[in-house]
């Protein structure tokens, strides 16, 4: 979906995080919640995750990204932002779909945290069994 200013919008999701992403042609500037993305995501692994879609299409530094992210933790937010960027890039040019699909950036990672069950210390962990 695009608006009158040549911006393309998409939503990305991962775990409990939701990223609203606007992508437009530019100089490679990425703002997350009105902050530069390397301030918001200080870990280099998260920065590489976010820049993955641009590397996959072979156009790093050619698009500006403005995103608002809510919910989840830092890793979930980085994954949600990557998903949103990939979907917005496909709305810019349908040619980007094949490399992004091949890299797995268009598929929403559906894994969620399993709930804790009663009578147990965690979701799967059990208290030690004692026969006597």
pTM for the whole thing?
0.89
Alpha-carbon distance of 12 to 49, in angstroms, equals 13
β strands within 26-122, DSSP E: 30-32, 35-36, 63-70
DSSP labels, 51-74: HHHHHHHT-TTSEEEEEEEESS-H
> What domains, with CATH codes, occur in the chain?
8-103 (3.30.230.10)
pLDDT recorded at residue 4: 59
| Average pLDDT across the chain, whole number | 92
Residues 52-66: pLDDT tens digits? 999 999 888 899 999
Residues 78-117: pLDDT tens digits? 999 999 999 999 999 899 999 999 999 999 999 999 999 9
């Amino acid at each position: 979906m695009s608006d009158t200013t040549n911006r393309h919008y998409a939503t990305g999701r991962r775990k409990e995080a939701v990223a609203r992403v606007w992508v437009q042609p530019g100089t490679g500037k990425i703002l997350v919640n009105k902050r530069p993305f390397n301030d918001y995501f200080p870990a280099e692994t998260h920065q590489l995750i976010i820049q993955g879609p641009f590397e996959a299409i072979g156009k790093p530094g050619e698009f500006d990204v403005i995103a608002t992210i809510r919910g989840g933790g830092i890793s979930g937010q980085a994954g949600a932002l990557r998903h949103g960027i990939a979907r917005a890039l496909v709305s810019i040019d349908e040619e980007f779909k094949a490399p992004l699909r091949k890299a797995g950036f268009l598929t929403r990672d559906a894994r969620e945290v399993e709930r804790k069950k009663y009578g147990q210390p965690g979701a799967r962990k059990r208290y030690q069994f004692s026969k006597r």
